[in-house]
Amino acid sequence: MQYVMALDQGTTSSRCILFDRSGNICSVANKEFRQIYPRPGWVEHDAQEIWDVTLEVARAAMAKLGVTAKDVAAIGITNQRETTVIWDKETGEPIANAIVWQCRRTSDIIDGLVAAGHADMIRARTGLVPDAYFSGSKIKWLLDNVPGARRRAEAGKLLFGTIDTWLIWKLTGGRVHVTDYTNASRTMLFNIHELRWDEELLRLLDVPAGMLPEVRPSSALYGRSEFELFGGEIPIAGAAGDQQCALFGQCCFEPGTMKNTYGTGCFLLMNTGETPVTSRNGLVTTIAASAGDGVQYALEGSIFIAGAAIQWLRDELGVISTASESLEYAVKVADTAGAYVVPAFTGLGAPYWNQRARGVIAGVTRGFGRAHLVRATLESLAYQTHDIVRAMERDSGIPIAELKVDGGACANDFLMQFQADLIGSDVYRPRCIETTALGAAYLAGLAVGYWSSLEDVKNNWAVDRVFTAAMDEDRRKELLRGWAKAVKCALLWGDED
C-alpha cells in the first residue's frame, strides 16, 4: 500500500489528495461546485452534486498517478463543518438542498432559545455559543418546512448527517451511518462531556433521535468503500471537521499547542488536552481530533474578516492587483504612520462578539498613503490573532509556546514576522500547508496502521521557516495600545445613537 487518500470537502470545492508515508503530496484533483443563494442571507448546496464532485476528484487523483484501489491504504475525510443534509433512508435522495454553515435563516429559532433562557445550558453541555451557524436549528428548519418531512422523520424514514456522514454513507452504499466526535460537537445537539446526543436539546429543537448518526472516534474503521466505486474496497478510517483536521495535520497533539489558519477568515484552535476549558472570553469549546478512543478538547476562536480584507484592498479599493502584492507595499514603509485598519465589515468575532461593529480606518494623518493603508490592513490580521491568542491564554492558563500557521495568507513573510513580534512567540510555517487534508490522511492512516504512532507522523512535520519575535517590548505595547483604541472606535460605531 503506497498512499492514503484525503477527501477534503470544502465550502466551495472538493479536493482529493493522495499522500505517501512521508506526508508528501503525490496527486491532487480539485473541483468547484455550485453555491445556491435562494434569498439574501441564505446559502445552500446540492448534496447530490457534492457527492458527484467528490467521487469525481477521488477518481481523478487516482487516475493521474495511475493507482488502483489496492494501492490506497485508507480514505480520510475532512469537511466543511455544520452544513446539514437530510435524506431518505431507502432511496438515498436528499429531501432538500443542504443548509450551509453560513446560512442565517434559522436566527429566529436561536433567538427563541435564548429568550427562553436556554443559552447557559446550551453552552455548558455543547461548549457552543447558541448560533444559527451550528446544525441543530438547521435540522429543525428542514423538518418544519419541507412538506411531510417531520412525519417521515418520526416514522424513522429520514437520516441526518453533516457532510462527513453523508459522504461515508454514499461511499459505503448506504450501509454505514456514522459521524465523528468533532463533527458531532458542531451540531449543538451533542453533550461534549458525556459524549452522547443530548435528549433535552433534541427535545428543544424537535429532532427525532432515530435520524442521528452513531458517533465514533475520528480515527476508526467506519466501513469500506463499495467495490464498484474504485474497483476495490478501500477502508474508510478517518473523519474530522476541517479546522480540527488542520490542528491534527499540524501535529498539535499536546495541550497548549495551537495553530492559526489564515484564509478568508482566521480560525485559531488550541489543544487543551483531556480538559474541556470553558471560555470566559468569547471562545467556543469543541472536541479536537485525536488518534485514540478517548477525546481531546480544543478552544476555538474565529475571525470573520482576515484574508478577505486583502481581497477588499484588491477588489473594492483597487490599491493592489494581487493578494501577494500586499507584501511589496507593506515593506515600502517603516510603519503605518500611526494609523490602524479594523476590518469589522460584518461585526467583530472573538473575543469581542459585536455584530454591529463596523470597519474603521483610525488615526489617519496627511502623510498616510497607499503603502500605509496596505500595511495597516495586513497588520489587522495579526492584531486580531493576537487578541485571540491572549484570550486563549487567559482561559486555559497555558502560556503560548509557539504558533503554527497555515492557510493562503501565511505565505506573506511580512505578516508572519509582524505576527511573531506582536504575540512575542515564534511563528512556525510548515513546508506542507495543506494541513487540513494531511490531518485527515493521518487520522485514517493511523487507524489502519499505515503510520504506526503519533511519533511516526510527527517526523513528517517539516518547517519551511521560523519567524522569531524581535520587536522590543515598549514598541509592542505602544502598538497594542493604539490597536485597542481603534477597536473601541469600531465598537462605538455600532452603538445605538
Residues 6+ apart with CB under 8 A from 135: 82, 83, 84, 160, 162, 186, 187, 188, 189
Q: Let me know if 21 is exposed, middle or buried by CB neighbors in 10 A (0-12, 13-18, 19+).
A: middle
Distance, in Å, from the CA atom of 355 to the CA atom of 409, rounded to the nearest integer, reads 25
List the grid coordinates of 472. Answer: 522590543
Distance, in Å, from the CA atom of 93 to the CA atom of 95, rounded to the nearest integer, reads 6
Residue 382 touches ligand ADP, criterion: CB under 6 A: no
Distance, in Å, from the CA atom of 205 to the CA atom of 189, rounded to the nearest integer, reads 9
Residue 264 touches ligand ADP, criterion: CB under 6 A: yes
Among positions 308-327, residues that touch ligand ADP (CB under 6 A) are 308, 310-311, 323-324, 326
Q: Which of these ranges, 344-352, 389-397, 405-413, 423-431, lies near ligand ADP under the rule CB under 6 A?
A: 405-413
Which DSSP symbol is given to 322?
S
Alpha carbon separation from 103 to 37, 87, 106, 484 (Å, rounded): 9, 19, 8, 31
List the grid coordinates of 11. Answer: 465550502
Instruction: Please identify the residue of the shown chain whose CB is closest to the bound ligand ADP.
Output: 408
Instruction: Considering the complex, state which of residue 50 and residue 171 has its C-beta at the smaller distance from ligand ADP.
Output: 50
**In the complex, minimum distance from the CB of residue 326 to ligand ADP, in angstroms, rounded to a whole number:** 5
Distance, in Å, from the CA atom of 440 to the CA atom of 457, rounded to the nearest integer, reads 12
Q: Which of these ranges, 66-74, 307-315, 463-471, 480-488, lies near ligand ADP under the rule CB under 6 A?
A: 307-315
Q: Which of these ranges, 229-237, 251-259, 269-277, 407-415, lies near ligand ADP under the rule CB under 6 A?
A: 407-415
Residue 250 touches ligand ADP, criterion: CB under 6 A: no
- Applying CB under 6 A, among 5, 409, 416, 440 the residue interacting with ligand ADP is 409
Distance, in Å, from the CA atom of 152 to the CA atom of 401, rounded to the nearest integer, reads 52
Residue 412 touches ligand ADP, criterion: CB under 6 A: yes
Contact 403, 428 (CB under 8 A): yes
Instruction: Considering the complex, state which of residue 308 and residue 441 has its C-beta at the smaller distance from ligand ADP.
Output: 308
Give the H or E element holding residue 8. Answer: strand 3-9
Residue 407 touches ligand ADP, criterion: CB under 6 A: yes
**How many residues bind ligand ADP, per CB under 6 A?**
14
- Applying CB under 6 A, among 263, 282, 343, 351 the residue interacting with ligand ADP is 263
Residue 83 touches ligand ADP, criterion: CB under 6 A: no
Q: Which of these ranges, 150-158, 291-299, 388-396, 409-417, lies near ligand ADP under the rule CB under 6 A?
A: 409-417
**In the complex, minimum distance from the CB of residue 404 to ligand ADP, in angstroms, rounded to a whole number:** 15
Q: Which of these ranges, 305-313, 332-340, 419-427, 473-481, lies near ligand ADP under the rule CB under 6 A?
A: 305-313
Q: Which of these ranges, 142-150, 302-310, 356-364, 441-449, lies near ligand ADP under the rule CB under 6 A?
A: 302-310
Strands 72-79 and 98-99, by their bridges, are unpaired
**Chain residues in the site for ligand ADP (CB under 6 A):** 263-264, 307-308, 310-311, 323-324, 326, 407-409, 411-412
